[in-house]
Structure 1
C-alpha cells in the first residue's frame, strides 16, 4: 500500500491510501493494533477497513493472530456481526474490510443518552444472546465482548472486533503470564486459567455489558485493573440500578463458575418469560412498550431497595498467584494470546427430521480441496484428489471407492453414459462403471478451452472454436462442428434442458451470439444475436437466462431473459453492479451470490429486486434454490440456508476446515438439491446430507 502523509504524531502520521483495491476515505477510529478507515467498494458499498500498524505487521506471531481474527470473523453469520467483505493478512500492512454498519457503539450511546430503559435492555440482552449463539455454534469464542464492541444498528445489536477471539480448532494458545480481554468485562477463568476459556466467558461478559447499559458503570468498578481483577474473581457484583425483572438473569450470567451460567438459548427462553411485552424490534429509536411507565422512561432505571449482591461459588486464589496473573493484564490488552473452549463433538447422524436422518461421511482422510459430487442411478458419486467414490444418499454408507491417477480439477464429475471424470488438468477423461467403479474407457483430449457434460454426451471446445461431441458410454466421437460467432464459444448446459448453449461475445462487448445445440447431433436448433456482453446462468420454461456484464469494469449490471419461441428479451438492471456473481434460477426468480457475500433475489416477472442480504461469506459456491430456501456452501465447509421469501438466514451447518484451517478451498462446489434433501461437501473431505426443509435443526 502506498503511504499517504497526514497530520498527526507517531505511527498515525503516516496512513495508507489503499487497502487492496479499496480507497481509504477517512479514519473512523484507532486502537492499539491498527486503524479503522471508512472506504467504499467499486459498487459504492460502504466498508470499515481495519489496517494493522506497520510495527506489528513485521511480527510473524502477530500476523498469525491477525489471520486467526479474519478466519474467526468469516465463520460467523453476518446477521449479528459486521460481515467480512475482503481481507489480506499477507499484505505489507495486513487489512480486513467489513461491511460498514451505521449506528453508535453501546458505549457511545450510554455516554450520550444515559442508561437504557427496561424495554431497551430486554431487546439488547436478547440480541446479544442471539449473537453469541451464532458465534458459538460455529466454534468461536469472542473473549472481548464489551460496550465498545457492540454496535447498535437499526435491526439490532451487532458484535464486532474478533481480534482476540479464537476458533475451537485454533493452534494459537495463551502464553505464560499473558491474559486477554478488558478487565471489567473478563470472566474469572480468564484470570485464573486462561488456557481453558470457553463460550461461558462470553456470557459473563454479557452480564457485565448489561450492567453497563443499565447503569453506565460495570458490576466491578475500580480505577485499577488489578483491583478489578481481584473483584471479578472474589467479590459479588454490584447490580444497583439494574431493573428488577432482569437482575436475576444478569446475576446468573455473572456466576463465578462457567457451568453455573446460562447458555444463549437458555437466556433467550428466560427472556421470553420475563415479560409478555418482550420483542425483538430495533431499539434505536426505542419502541414504547406497555410496561414502561413514564417515570421509568425518563430515568431508564428502576429503584432498588438495597444493592443486590451475592457471593457465587469461587475457587481460592492466593494473593501471590493473583498478582502474577494480573501482571500481564496490560500487556494482554494490546494483543494477547488465545485459549480455546472445549471441542465440539460430532456424531454420525443427526436428529431425524421428516423421515430423513442427517448423515456425514469421510471416505478420504488425505488429499486437499472439497469433494465434487454428482447424483445419478440412485447414488451419490464424488471425486477428490485422485479418489473416486460412491455413497448411498439415504445414509451415507460407502458403496465403492477407487483410486484414479488424477489431481482434483475445477470440473465436477458427471454421469453421462458412464461416470466421467476430467483428470490431469482436464486433458484426459476417465469413465468409470457407476455400479462398481471399474474403469470403462479413457481418452486423451486435444488442446481445448473447455469441457461440458450435456445429457449422455461430452462436449469439447477446441482452441480453434470447433465443438466436438463425444459419447459418454464409449468415448467415441459422434460429431464435430464449428459454431458461428465473433469469438471462441463458451458452452453451458443445465439439468432438465435438452439443449446445450454456445455463446461468444464481440471484442468490444457490444453483442453476444447465442446458439442452442442438440448435444446428440450437434445441430443448431436456434440462434440469436443479443445486445451486450452476456453469459448464460440457467434455463427455465424454455427461456434462457443470462447475466450482462460491463465490458469496462467486468461487473454484472443486469439480468436478461431470452424466450426463443417469441424472440422476446426481458432485461432487468441490477440496483448495484455485482462482482463475479454466481446464480440460481427458479421460475422467474434469479438468486445472485457475488464475491463479497451479497445475496440478492431478482424477479424477472416484475422487474424488481425482492430482497438483498449480506451473508458474510466472501467467496461462496453457486447457490441452489427450492420454493422455501436458497442454499450455498462456504469455503470453510458450512452449508447455509436463507429464507426464499425474505432472505433471512434460517440455518447453517458447522464449519469443517480439517487439519489445516489456514488453507482456503480453491473451488467451492455448489450443494446438490435432490427433492427435499441437500448434499454438500467440506475442505476436510466430508460429504454430508441434511433435510433441506428444516435448516434450523442443522
Structure 2
C-alpha cells in the first residue's frame, strides 16, 4: 500500500482515503473508510479518462457487472457514483493478499491449498455465470487469498454471457497468459472461457510460472491456441483437474459446479489448521492487524511490492533492488513478518552455495581428495527427555538452568527438567501480549543472569488532533521475570511516542538489552512508520538510548566485547555506536548477519560471507561457497570462545558439508561431508546452533543432527519431527539440552545434549 501523494484525492463520496492499493489502466484503487468505520476498496477513474465517453461507459458497465455478483467468493459492490465528475466505485475490502504476490514472495502453493483454491474459484465463477456474466480476466492478480478462502475481484472487462457489452466479436481484451483459445482468437465467448482461465491460474499457483510461457503477447497467444502445455510438474492430485479445464474445445471443459464436485471427490484438507500456508497466512494476518490498528483518517505508510532480490516489478525496467515492506502496525509482529517475507525471497536462489564448497579439498600434492560422504543410517537415534503438548503454539523456546521457557501469544510457561509445568505467566498479568504471530518462530525474549527479559505491547492506536492529525503511540514495556518462579521483577517502559512495539530481541551485552521495533518515534502526521532500536540499561531499569529510522531494520548483530550494534534492512548495513548514533553505513545485501572474532559477518544471496570491520564498515575478508541462511536465520554458528565459526558448504554431489572458518582472519579449517538429506525435502538453507560442546543442525526434512565440533562427525540424530515443516520449528540449545517447539502441532520436545 502506498502513501497518498499530492495529487491523490483525500476523500471520495463518503469515504476518507487511507492509502493507495494499486493502479491500472482505468485509474487507481484506494483503501477507504466510512464514518462508521467500514473499510472498502475504492476505484477512482483517472481524471483525463473521466471526460472520455467510452471510458465512462465502460466504467458504468463494470459497476453494473460487479453489482450483479454477490457470492461468498467475490467482492461485492457497496457504493458507486458513475456520473460524478470523477466516477468511482466502492467494493467490500477483502482482507487478503493477491495470489500473484503470494506466489512471487513465497513460491508455489502446496497441493492441498491449490485444491481449496480450485473449489473457491469455481464457486465464485458459478456465481458470476449465474448472474449472466463472463469475467474474462480471471488471473492471479485478480484473486485475493483470505483466511476464509479465495475471492475474485475486478470485473473491469466482464461482459454479459449473451454477448452484449462494450466489445464485439473480433476484439481481444484480457491478459495473454490466462486467455482461453477462443478469447485469443477474438471469437464469441461463453462461460467456458473463464474455466480455461481458471485452469491456467491454478497451474500458476502450483508451479509458480505461466503455463504458456512468457514473452511477447502474440507469442503467448499463439501457444495458447496451438500448443498443449507441459503439465508434468503439477501434483498428481490436481493434474487431471487442470487438464480438464484446459481443453481446447470449450464444450469439453467442465462447468464450475462440476469442478467443485470433483474437488470434493478428491478431498479437501481439514479446515481446522487453515487452508493457507503459514507464511501466506502471516501476511494476511498483517493486513488484518493493519485494519484493526488504523485510525479514522490518516493515510497509510508506503508498502512497496515484495519481490525476490534482483527481480524487477511487472512492467518495470531492469532495477535490481528488492522491494521492502514498510511497517504495517501491531505489537512487533509485522516487522518480524517483513523479515520473514524478505528471507523467503532470499532463499529462492539456490545457486549461491558454490565457490569454496563446490570442489573437494585438495591433498598435500594438490590432487583433489575424493568426497567420502557418511551414511546417516548407522547414526544413533536420540531419546527425548520429554515431550509436552501445550494449549497454544510457542513461537520461542529458551533453555536455562532447571527450566525451559516457552513463549506463546498469551502465555509463558516454565517447564522443569521432567517436562512438568513449573510456572505460568499470562498476558493479563504481564499487561500485554508477548508475540504477535504464534505460528511464526521468532526471538522475542532473552535469558540472562537468572532472569527472562521480554517486551510486551500494551498500548493502542488513536488519532491525534484532526482527521489527518498525528498518531501518538507509546505502549511497550520490557519485563524482567525471575526464571525460578515466573514472577515479574520489574518493568521498564518505552516512553517514546510514534512507536508500535518491539518485534525482535537483538540480545544482551554488558548489562544492556537491545530490541528492534516498529515506528521511528517521529511525528510524520500519519501512522508510525519506519523502525527503531531501543537500548535498555538493565541495572538502572530505564532507556539508555533510542534510535529511529524511516527504513525497515529487520535484523541485527551484537559484537561481543565491543560497543557497536549492526542492523540491516536486507540491502544496507548500518552500525550504531554506544550512544545510538550511526557510526557508518554500507550498501550490502545481507541476511542472517552475525558477529565473531572482532568482526560483523554478513552473508549475501550468492553464498559469500563478508567480514565487516566494526570501526568503518570496510571488508576484512570474504568467504565463498557458504549455504545461505534458512528462513529463520542461523546460517552461522559461533563456538563458545568466539574463535571458530561453523557454516555449511555445498558439495559437488548435491550434499553439504560442515566446515569451519577463523573469524579473525577468514582462514578455513576442516570440512566434513554430512549425510545426504531427503531428496524430496524442500530447500531450507543453513540452520545451525552451537551449545554444550555440540553443533546442532536442522535438516530440510526436520531431522535434527548433533555434530562433533572437533571434526563434524554425527553424534546422534532425532527423527521424531521428520516430515514437519522446519520453518514452523522454533529451537534453542543450552543447559545440556536441545529444545524444539513445533508451532503446527503445539508440542515442545527436549533432547539431551548427549543424545542418550
Question: Do they superpose with TM above 0.5?
Answer: no
**What TM-score results when the alignment is normalised by the length of structure 1?**
0.42
**What TM-score results when the alignment is normalised by the length of structure 2?**
0.39
Structure having the larger proportion of residues in strand: 1
